[in-house]
């Protein structure tokens, strides 16, 4: 048995070589870029690093990024839950079309996305002209940046929830309704607890992407300093001005955000895994209790 398994696996040398190759590839493409960000940011000492972050332009950029994300996130969260509720819970004509359209933003270049918003809301367009006449500017303003952020993060929550809800089925919700619960009671007390981890994961991804979006935001931003510069755009400006410490210092913030995102994602997955393992352990515990219970009854 052991012998057969050994003879069947790759030799030690092959295995070692494959692992080495994979690690080299990952180190080259994942670890080194991370290292460079922090190395460059701190290359002139901690003082300059902190000064770069305390710069008023940098703070404006951070503020705008947080603002855009805090608007885009809840909007796409509500949409994602609604879309998942329709697609995973109902049969209707046009369902696959809806599903395809939700994915559309994934297959469009961010730059093209930005361009579409410029075409829609730019001063030359009828809609843009009308809005401008009513004092509402979309392109080259915060509103445009929010819209671009919403567009690029549009599918994340729905994409996480749809397969999850489909695999769970709707029997628990049906049971809740038979028991007399109202629609909202069913949603809050049965649906939400069942999808909370998927929801959290979708939110994490949306947040990361919204804070880091570059292409689409760059097109609609107009690069007005102190007004329409998000953190990624600020990094570009600093970099093009050869202010490498400043650029990498800001980049290090977003890198930390990315690492936090990965950590949160791993924790979510780990928790889900642990929940099933713990349920298994407690079952064993219950078996023991069942035995004592039976003993007590027969006594």
Enumerate residues 230-259 that contact another protein by CB under 8 A.
232-233, 235-236, 239, 244, 247-248, 251, 254-255, 257-259
Interface residue with another protein, options 182, 226, 241, 274 (CB under 8 A): 182
Does the protein bind another protein through residue 150 (CB under 8 A)? Answer: yes
Does the protein bind another protein through residue 228 (CB under 8 A)? Answer: no
Nearer to another protein, 55 or 222 (CB): 222
Nearer to another protein, 224 or 262 (CB): 262
Does the protein bind another protein through residue 67 (CB under 8 A)? Answer: no
CA-angle at 151, arms to 87 and 196, nearest 5°: 50
Q: Token pair for residue 75?
A: 């909007």
Interface residue with another protein, options 1, 2, 279, 288 (CB under 8 A): 279
Orientation angle between helical segments 126-133 and 110-121, nearest 10 degrees: 60
Interface residue with another protein, options 79, 131, 227, 268 (CB under 8 A): 79
Nearer to another protein, 25 or 130 (CB): 25
Q: Token pair for residue 101?
A: 């359209």
Binding marks (x or -) toward another protein, 98..137, rule CB under 8 A? x--xx-xx-xxxxxxx-xxxxxx-x-xx-x----------
Q: Token pair for residue 155?
A: 């599918």
Q: Cβ 46 to another protein, closest distance in Å?
A: 19
Interface residue with another protein, options 74, 129, 163, 183 (CB under 8 A): 183
Return the residues of window 5-34 that contact another protein according to CB under 8 A: 8, 10, 15, 18-19, 21-23, 25-26, 29-34
Q: Cβ 278 to another protein, closest distance in Å?
A: 9
Does the protein bind another protein through residue 94 (CB under 8 A)? Answer: yes
Q: Cβ 240 to another protein, closest distance in Å?
A: 9
Residues 150/72, Cβ–Cβ less than 8 Å:
yes
Q: Token pair for residue 65?
A: 């990024």
Return the residues of window 185-214 that contact another protein according to CB under 8 A: 185-187, 189-190, 193-194, 205, 208-209, 211-214
* Alpha-carbon Rg for the chain in angstroms: 26
Q: Cβ 86 to another protein, closest distance in Å?
A: 5
Using CB under 8 A, which of the segments 37-45, 46-54, 130-138, 159-167 binds another protein?
A: 37-45
Does the protein bind another protein through residue 42 (CB under 8 A)? Answer: no
Q: Cβ 133 to another protein, closest distance in Å?
A: 18
Q: Cβ 135 to another protein, closest distance in Å?
A: 20
Q: What is the DSSP string of the chain?
A: -HHHHHHHSPPHHHHHHHHHHHHHHHIIIIIHHHHHHHHHHTTT-HHHHHHHHHSHHHHHHHHHHHHHHHHHHHHHHHHHHHHHHHHHH---TTHHHHHHHHHGGGGS-HHHHHHHHHHHHSTTSHHHHHHHHTT---TTSHHHHHHHHHHHHTTHHHHHHHHHHHHH-SHHHHHHHHTT--HHHHIIIIIHHHHHHHHHHHHHHHHHHHHH--HHHHHHH---TTTS--HHHHHHHHHHTT-HHHHHHHHHHHHHHHHHHHHHHHHHHHHHHHHHHHHHHHHHHHHHHHHHHHHHHH-
Does the protein bind another protein through residue 178 (CB under 8 A)? Answer: yes
């Amino acid at each position: 048995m052991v012998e057969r398994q050994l003879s069947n696996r790759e030799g030690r040398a092959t295995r070692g070589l494959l692992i080495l190759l994979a690690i080299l590839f990952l180190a080259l493409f994942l670890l080194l870029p991370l290292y460079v960000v922090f190395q460059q940011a701190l290359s002139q000492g901690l003082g300059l690093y902190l000064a770069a972050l305390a710069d008023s332009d940098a703070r404006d950029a951070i503020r705008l990024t947080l603002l855009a994300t805090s608007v885009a996130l809840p909007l796409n969260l509500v949409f994602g839950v609604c879309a998942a509720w329709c697609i995973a819970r109902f049969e209707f004509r046009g369902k696959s079309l809806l599903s395809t359209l939700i994915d559309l933003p994934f297959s469009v270049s961010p730059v093209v996305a930005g361009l579409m918003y410029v075409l829609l809301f730019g001063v030359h367009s009828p809609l843009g002209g009308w809005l401008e006449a009513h004092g509402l500017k979309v392109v080259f303003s915060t509103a445009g940046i929010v819209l671009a952020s919403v567009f690029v993060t549009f599918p994340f929550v729905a994409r996480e929830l749809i397969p999850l809800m489909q695999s769970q089925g709707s029997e628990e919700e049906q049971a809740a309704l038979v028991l007399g619960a109202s629609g909202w009671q069913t949603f809050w007390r049965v649906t939400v607890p069942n999808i909370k981890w998927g929801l959290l994961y979708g939110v994490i991804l949306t947040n990361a992407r919204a804070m880091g979006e570059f292409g689409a935001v760059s097109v609609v931003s107009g690069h007005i300093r102190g007004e329409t510069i998000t953190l990624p755009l600020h990094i570009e400006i600093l970099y093009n001005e050869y202010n490498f410490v400043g650029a990498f210092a800001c980049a290090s913030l977003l890198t930390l955000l990315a690492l936090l995102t990965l950590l949160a994602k791993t924790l979510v997955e780990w928790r889900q895994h642990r929940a099933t393992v713990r349920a298994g352990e407690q079952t064993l515990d219950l078996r023991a209790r069942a035995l004592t219970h039976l003993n007590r009854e027969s006594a």
